[in-house]
Amino acid sequence: MTCQEAAEDVGSMQSAPSTSTRSTSSTSTSSSGNNNSGGGGGGKETASTLLNPSSSAASASAAGLGVHPSSSSPFPPPPPALHHHHQHHHPSTNTAAKPIRTIYPTELAKKLTKCNSKGALQFQSQGPVIIDCRPFMEYNRSHIQGAVHINCSDKISRRRLQQGKITVLDLISCREGKDSFKRIFSKEIIVYDENTDEPNRVVPSQPLHIVLESLKREGKDPLVLKGGLSSFKQEHENLCDNSLQLQECPEGGGASLIPAHLPQSIPTTPDIENAELTPILPFLFLGNEQDAQDLEKMQRMNIGYIINVTTHLPLYHYDKGIFHYKRLPATDSNKQNLRQYFEEAFEFIEEAHQCGNGLLIHCQAGVSRSATIVIAYLMKHTRMTMTDAYKFVKGKRPIISPNLNFMGQLLEFEEDLNNGVTPRILTPKLVGVETVV
């Protein structure tokens, strides 16, 4: 007898159930179907439900889920194991997911102290691989000693990592980190963010969750630092790097290409005061307040356009009507949004360029605000990375030192350029950079 014929026989024997039995049977069948569809598992019952929906009711009835078969049923009751499977299908799916392991700050500190005491070579070969998945500027402000940065702050990188199109190794920011990660076959991997205390509750869109899932797909079993950097730093600040240590990473991309040896403080006052008006490009000059006052020098340089990147300095010689002026009201602070002025400044610079005039861009000292806009302009109009543009400008004017806030905005700008959010303008080519970068 075929399965379908048997199911029809059972249906004929139950052709006149009571009203209450019909209601219960409907509910039980629906519940059974939900369990099968929710689990996606493949037993014989799942297959028969898909092939013949009517047999689902008979199967549910025979399983004792609210409908009792008549004594003349040709089928014996199903084994208890199948009944147990239905009742606990969802919980078994949940328990199958392996919980994320954690490590406490004190435990990690012991590992780091032990490895550091053996020297750098021992640390590289035996120490854990520590992955920081916070935003890049947060990493540069402070991170655990030896931690490598995963650059997944932009949506495109996160999505590609989720889809398995790239791996964690692809997003490690610098060469040293990549080399360390390649040698992790017998190493522990420890991942942290700012302050996650319960990694099993992290939402799927968070970088920490995405990095953990990617590592698991690669067969790794990472640990999460409980409480993140915040907890670790409270107890073990001596094991953190707290100053901006921007490393050059030639193999990286996007925001991983960071200027090497950025100055840790503003240059001395005499250096700033003695700095001269600096030609960055044949038509683009970077200077300070004194340069903006020197009418003779500006006329000698064929400067006809001036950008004043301050809130308080006057527009020198504006009343003479010989300069095209633009003020970008910005302060040199850690809260100033300078990027909002980038496009406006670029258009003004291009206007001067097309008119055959030179342009002076200045703030008070020509160190931070105006230098940031010049770096951004080079990134926009060439294929320079932020590293290249920074080095190019610093090579011309050694005193430049954009504050950390502006450096973060340049990093974000570079990501947008690389991801196509902000288009580059490569024609006409800028004169004066081809032989250098």
- Which residues have a catalytic role annotated? 363
Q: What is the CA radius of gyration of the chain?
A: 33
Task: Give DSSP secondary structure letters for 72-108.
Answer: T-SSPPPPHHHHHHHHTHHHHHHHHSPPPEEE-HHHH
Beta carbons within 8 Å of 117's beta carbon, 6+ residues apart? none
Give the residue carrying structure tokens 């790097």.
Answer: 241
Contact 349, 377 (CB under 8 A): yes
Q: Smallest Cα–Cα separation from 309: which of 367, 364, 353, 266? A: 364
Three-class secondary structure of residue 431 per DSSP: coil
Q: Take residue 131 and report the two structure tokens written for it.
A: 């992955």
Contact 252, 385 (CB under 8 A): no
Indicate the burial class of 370 (C-beta count within 10 angstroms; 0-12, 13-18, 19 or more): buried
Q: Take residue 295 and report the two structure tokens written for it.
A: 């009418």
